[in-house]
Structure 1
Amino acid sequence: MSPRQTAGLGALFVAGCYLTGIAFVLGPLAPLGLGTGAMDGAAVLQLTRQSPWLLPLWMTVIYDLSALGTALAGLGLARALARDLPHLALASAATALIWTGLTLASGMVARAGLAELAALAPQDLPRALETWRILHLIETGLSGRTEALGGLWIGLASLAALRIGALSGVAGLLGAGVALAGLATYLPPLSQGGGMVFGLGAILWCGWAGVEWILPRPAET
């Protein structure tokens, strides 16, 4: 498998993780109001008591597995770029790996929040809910509330892939739009709307780019 195809496999894996995460949010996790600003610790506590495996499984998919897919895509693309665009390859790889680290850290904080909520609730419910709220803010701050780093990587990846002919113009334009949406989340008034556009756009871009990268070029067939 070539480095470009490795990047494609990683991108498709990321898209699959995000789609699975959305299926959870719209299905068994719908009562929590994830992504609506209405999520609260009481609902999380009730769900963890009823189905203690559900939220950890969701976190594994959207944080751990998607982060590994991002690392695979970022490093595969960097190897494909190394000969023709070495500086852009380094910048792209570094951005992808930092994004990977922040995503994994967000998952760790999320699990810590669940553990503290479950441990403190029987003795001091208000304290448990406040502790969870603080940890949840840290979780979303690391990954989700601000998507600028993800937008930067997608923008760099799209630019670099276009320059070596590894991505179509339409996919490149899509990547640019997704990058702008991610960068817009740096501005608090645009955080929620930009995050939604980035999330949906990132799924489409990862799927599209993944297919283009994983299929052999005419010269390779």
Structure 2
Amino acid sequence: MNNLQKLGGIAALFEAAIYISAFVFFGVFWDYPVSAEDAQKFIFLTNNQVVLSIVNLTMYVAFGLFLAILVLAIHQRMKNKAPALSQLASIFGIVWVGLVIASGMIANIGLGAVIDLSAKNAEQAMTLWVVINTIVEGLGGGNEVVGGLWVLLLSLAGLKIIELPKLLNCFGIFIGSVGILTIYPAEILTEIFGLGQIVWFSWLGVAMLISRQN
């Protein structure tokens, strides 16, 4: 059990690191020509396909794999003292894992399809690109309801059974609530949830590595 808790703590720290890497990449290095013509956008995507594919793989698929480990570890930690809340939280955690991994696979397959189509019909390719981005955002980018429910429920469970630091659980309730509110399409809510997740995952990881009981 202690080994699983240690793995969960390490996974949580990796989650935080992936969030930070994504913020840095898209905030500093990614210079997508938003106002350029379609042809220029496709040239940019073609030239950066490998890089963007690696980022998608890390940001979605790797994130989902580490999340799966963390969901299992948290469930094992709380299932005896808060079985109902722990099981309900785990359901949403597992669903989040699936949505995030699916988002990454759709993003990468879609990127390749768009680049191939752009050589034949730029207008259709741009339409496809918009559709793919909308699907990816809906599943795992712009809507954080499922992830928010997972964080909220396990934080409530943590408070109920006095498991993990109280302030961490209170912070988790706040961040989870913000995640649920992202059902309303406001970019500020998504940003708050993302930044809050960096703190929450880091804090959770350290707490699990320090205290690996149960």
Aligned partner of 2:147 in structure 1 is: 150
Is the 2:8–2:69 contact (alpha carbons within 8 Å) kept by the matching residues of 1?
A: yes
Aligned partner of 1:12 in structure 2 is: 13
- Counterparts of 1:112 and 1:95 in 2: how far apart (Å)? 26
Deviates most, 193-202 or 105-114: 105-114
**TM-score, with structure 2 as normaliser:** 0.90
Is the 1:20–1:61 contact (alpha carbons within 8 Å) kept by the matching residues of 2?
A: no
Aligned-partner residue type, residue 105 of structure 2: M
Once the 2 structures are TM-superposed, how far is the Cα of residue 23 of structure 1 from its aligned partner?
1.9
Q: 1:120 to 1:204 in 2, by over 3 A?
A: same
Higher RCO (CA < 8 A, seq sep 6+): 2
Aligned-partner residue type, residue 87 of structure 1: A
Deviations 1:175-205 (A, max 9, x none): 11111111111123xx311111101001110
Once the 2 structures are TM-superposed, how far is the Cα of residue 133 of structure 1 from its aligned partner?
0.7
Aligned-partner residue type, residue 95 of structure 1: F
- SS of the equivalent of 1:187 reads coil
Once the 2 structures are TM-superposed, how far is the Cα of residue 50 of structure 1 from its aligned partner?
2.0
Once the 2 structures are TM-superposed, how far is the Cα of residue 210 of structure 1 from its aligned partner?
1.0
Aligned partner of 2:32 in structure 1 is: 32
- Counterparts of 2:171 and 2:85 in 1: how far apart (Å)? 19
**1:216 and 2:211 matched:** yes
Q: 1:38 to 1:122 in 2, by over 3 A?
A: closer
Is the 1:166–1:213 contact (alpha carbons within 8 Å) kept by the matching residues of 2?
A: no
Aligned partner of 2:23 in structure 1 is: 22
Aligned partner of 1:118 in structure 2 is: 115
- Counterparts of 1:41 and 1:113 in 2: how far apart (Å)? 17
- Counterparts of 1:20 and 1:118 in 2: how far apart (Å)? 25
Is the 2:6–2:209 contact (alpha carbons within 8 Å) kept by the matching residues of 1?
A: yes
Match of 2:160 among 157, 160, 163: 163
1:50-199 alignment runs, 5 A limit: 50-188=47-185, 191-199=186-194
- Counterparts of 1:211 and 1:38 in 2: how far apart (Å)? 43
Count of residue pairs brought into register by the alignment: 213
Q: 1:3 to 1:25 in 2, by over 3 A?
A: same
Once the 2 structures are TM-superposed, how far is the Cα of residue 80 of structure 1 from its aligned partner?
1.1
Q: 1:40 to 1:55 in 2, by over 3 A?
A: farther
Deviations 1:134-171 (A, max 9, x none): 11101111011111111111111212223333321221
- SS of the equivalent of 1:53 reads helix
Q: 1:172 to 1:50 in 2, by over 3 A?
A: same
- SS of the equivalent of 1:77 reads helix
Once the 2 structures are TM-superposed, how far is the Cα of residue 38 of structure 1 from its aligned partner?
7.6
Aligned partner of 2:199 in structure 1 is: 204
- SS of the equivalent of 1:200 reads helix
Aligned-partner residue type, residue 5 of structure 1: K
- Counterparts of 1:159 and 1:63 in 2: how far apart (Å)? 26
Is the 1:41–1:133 contact (alpha carbons within 8 Å) kept by the matching residues of 2?
A: no
Once the 2 structures are TM-superposed, how far is the Cα of residue 2 of structure 1 from its aligned partner?
4.2
- Counterparts of 1:39 and 1:145 in 2: how far apart (Å)? 24
- Counterparts of 1:2 and 1:54 in 2: how far apart (Å)? 34
Aligned-partner residue type, residue 50 of structure 2: W
Aligned-partner residue type, residue 167 of structure 2: V
Gaps of 5+ in 1: none
- Counterparts of 1:187 and 1:82 in 2: how far apart (Å)? 32
- Counterparts of 1:85 and 1:40 in 2: how far apart (Å)? 55
